[in-house]
Structure 1
Amino acid sequence: MKTESIDEAKKMAREESLTRQDEAIFIIYCNRTKYNYVATDGLIRSWERLIGFYENGRYTAGKSSL
């Protein structure tokens, strides 16, 4: 899922993390497209930046230990 607003991305990621109990949901910002992406894939390419991630509805800023 993609969105232009970080607040909207956080809302979407939180809702998704509550439905997927044992999976981290990542919020990634892409410098090329200027969009925030909400995904379960934590792979970050050189032009992207990890904003944070949600696990079971709890937000953590920065990198995941997963």
Structure 2
Amino acid sequence: MAKATVFDIATYILKKQGDMSAMKLQKLVYYSQAWSLVWDDKPLFQSRIEAWANGPVSPQLYLSLDHK
């Protein structure tokens, strides 16, 4: 089975929760990764997450989001 990507996780969250700010989506993606590491002892996706001034960010996801 293919691993999920950061985009798969973001799409799933948006389908379940509806529209939200880019910052909130980044944080929920981060929490999803963290819980996967805690529960399953393995990452949910392979994209890097960085500590930015306003919270955790997946640069790959950040570049794909509209930041208006």
Fold agreement, TM-score > 0.5: no
| Higher relative helix content | 2
**What TM-score comes out, normalization by structure 2 length?**
0.35
**What TM-score comes out, normalization by structure 1 length?**
0.36
Larger Rg, first or second structure (1 or 2): 2
